[in-house]
Structure 1
């Protein structure tokens, strides 16, 4: 397609080659609309975001690789390397931010309007090969002994990593040797995950229908369970809390050296629970009212002292 551009240009009948090229004849710039601010030293270019940033206007996240139409301006020199400044407009809000090149550190610097998302780490911690600094490069160029030591260190690191790489290669080869088995394993895992997601969606749908809500439910976490348990404890009524306190007092040991089994154990606890429930629900009051309306015959009391007079009469008779 590149060779067709020169042939597809339209030359008007009054074109004079003596005046120069076609753009100069028509009084236009070769960059067209991108050069509308060229008299100010600004050129519109296509700029790609070098790293993840946070926009200060709408507090939005902009990922690395997002492209913008940026105003490119030359602001200085680093030795013989020019320093450029780029002015961009956020595509999510009306905020503008400026980014400048940093040739000394081989990086970009944010001047205003945004801040960098800090997710950098030392590549040596992950056993990666990091780039050499300028001091090390200069020393490798000037010092032959240091260069020899550096090469020996790199050769030793490669020899140490070779067994690990071989083990990883053998493991991957054993796992992916049978493609059919690996495919079946992956499909079974996907089916299991899909089944779990579908079941969770059904539960969420039932909960929303029961609560008459129209919101998106997030996955349940341990913190949510703890908060629900605390709210459940706080929803107890005053009567229930008072009943629990009385039950705790009744179940305490009367003597310091006594055992819990001497007070009835589980049987006594069940009896106390039923008594407290009867008291809380007001059943005793109903029973007392019923007893006043229809008095029951007095129960015969058992006396521990025998009736010797009646026994004597019976014997005499």
Structure 2
């Protein structure tokens, strides 16, 4: 019976260099690595130094100090992970990697205190500032002594009064919005029917404009707009002066002929006087 047939028979397959003490073969190079490092393989070659090679994803945009190249957020590296102290009972992890542009060593550490990452060396974090109003986020109120409003009882009381006044002012608007939402969702079949009717009208109008474009012999990239009475009025009031150059030349020629006749008449009168 072949080895494959034996594996089918008892669902177990043992290679020829199987060693029950280590769980794998020792003759092959790959087998010896697996026997030494387990399933981690070459990623655990430095476990004796407390280093484990992992895939690390850059948590934010950074500038490389070696070549000033921008490393975008989400770029992945083969980083060496090691412990670098603790914050109370939380471990601080350090990740060392090389930049893909100039092979500069970049070290990033976890910051459990602020729940963030910090760049220790090799790069600098890209500062991205924005206004809270432009981003549509709430502005956190900070007291005079640097404490937040949540830690100041008087500030918390004042903010509570402001929030209640704002809620009373927005109650009517919220009620109107809720009633409008209930009215629209009361009969979804009627709303869907009205929407489909409006879309059919839009498609019909677009088809008519496309047919008119084809009759005019225009290219498919030209998009005609719907008919507008104001456009008709403006078009009828517009006059195109196409023969202005002809009229200008005619007037110039007429002026030249008139000047020549005046000169000719003066010369004839002079000759007549000489004859007299």
**Pair in the same fold by TM > 0.5:** no
TM-score range, shorter chain: 0.3 to 0.5
TM-score of the aligned structures, taking structure 1 as reference length: 0.40
